[in-house]
Every structure is written in C-alpha cells, then in structure tokens.
Structure 1
C-alpha cells in the first residue's frame, strides 16, 4: 500500500509515518483514492504571500491567486502606515522619508503582483494603467477581486 502525505500529497515509501518532504503525517491509500491527495493546493498564508511576492520582485510573468495578491496588498498597506507613523513621530515637519522609502521599495513588487493577478483572470498586466483615469479604479478592483480562470491560460498554470 502506497503512503501519501495528508498535507502536500507526495508519495512516500511504504510504512513511513511522516512525509519526507514536509514532515506531515502520511496515510495509506488504495490506488483509486490517491487522487484525493495528489495535486492538493497549499493554502496561501499571509507570510507565504509576502515571501512569494518579494521573491518574485520584478517577475511580471505567470499568475497569482487572489489570496497571494490581497495578503501582499495588506502587507504593503500596513508597512506604509508603519512608515507614516515613524515619520510623524520622528520628524516635526511634513518630511516623509521612511514612508517614501517603504513605498519606493514596494512599488515594483506591487505592480508585478498586480500584473500576475490580472494574468490569473485572463487579462494583461497593462490593464493596471486604467487606474490613472481614477474612474478606472472601479473595474480594476473588480478584476483583481474576481475569481481566476480554471486550468491553464495563455499566462501559465494557476498558482
């Protein structure tokens, strides 16, 4: 009987109790039930989305899931607010050095994550430019929040 990881779906040697890849417990499954664990998607968490988006700093290709994009968006907002708090408590005038540096450092990863998110919905990343028109922010938010295309599209496989 083959042993499959209950977390990542990886096949492990017989009689193994823990996955050699992720360390989760394994379960013996008859061959017809192994599909339940194979290709199981890993849940996107706050910290995983941050590491994914920062590791793809200027990668405008591929696709990004909704949780990956929105967790990273929350991270950028929180970091920006943190920078503004530091600026307001450190500098007496309206100097915004820290928040400016934070926003500058996260600008490209945010644009890249947005492009990958639009790719997941079947649209080009260039559609982000519609936000310049102010009214274009509405359809852009709808596209970024909508469900991605099932299966492969011209931008790659779902993440």
Structure 2
C-alpha cells in the first residue's frame, strides 16, 4: 500500500466511518496517519492566514481526533480517559506520545486486534 493511500484510508476511517466511535480499537497507522493529515492541513491553512477556516477544521476534527485517540489507547489496553494525562505540561504529552507509539496488545478487554492499515507496508523503507 502506498503512503498516499494509507493516509487517505486512515482519514476516511476516522472522519467518515468512525466519526464519534469511542469503542473498539485503532492501530498505529490509522491513528498516526489521521493525526499527520490533520496537522498538515491545519499548518497549510495557518501559513495561508485562513484562520477562520483553520478554526472550523479544528473544531470539526476535535471529536474524531478524541475518538481515534481513545481507540488507540484501547489498542494498548488503556482507557480513553488517559488522554487527560496529556494536559500535564511536557511529561503528560511525552507519556501520551509514548503510549500512542506502542504496538497494540493481543485481544484485550476492548476487543479483538483491529483490522488496520498494513503498518509495515505503510511505513517508510528502513522504519521499524
């Protein structure tokens, strides 16, 4: 799977298919590609000084972003409420990034292993 297709699939899954779905699990590729796309579009709108449009984008993606984060934490066998740790300056942010980067556990209390974008095929050459 190509990088572009992986990003499109992750964005469509988070925005169209699971907009406010806080149950289940999300793999690393789904979460990180969605966040990457959100960051890039937001940065471009900021550079172009389209602040109102940027604000509307961020408001519209807040719920799917929180839902994707919750599902990602479920994949590492943690409650979605752990996202609140990210409010702690520096340490909380680093802890959340660490958890989000961890590979998912096997079947856990939040469900079976997610059917995800192929992590290995979506990664750049040489990445683990």
TM-score, normalised by the number of residues in structure 2: 0.80
1:87-111 Cα deviation digits (max 9, x unpaired): 26xxxxxxx2111111111111111
- Residue 73 (1) aligns with residue 29 (2): no
More strand by proportion, 1 or 2? 1
* Offset of residue 85 of structure 1: 2.6
- Residue 96 of structure 2: aligned partner: 140
- Residue 82 of structure 1: aligned partner: 44
TM-score, normalised by the number of residues in structure 1: 0.65
Q: Distance in 2 between matches of 1:109 and 1:87?
A: 24
Higher RCO structure, 1 or 2 (CA under 8 Å, sep 6+) = 2
Unpaired segments of 5 or more residues in structure 1? 1-43, 89-95
Matched pairs, number: 108
**Stretches of 4+ aligned residues off by more than 2 angstroms:** 85-88
- Residue 110 of structure 2: aligned partner: 155
Unpaired segments of 5 or more residues in structure 2? 115-128
1:59-106 Cα deviation digits (max 9, x unpaired): 000000000000001011011112213326xxxxxxx21111111111
- Residue 6 of structure 2: aligned partner: 45
Larger radius of gyration between Structure 1 and Structure 2: 1
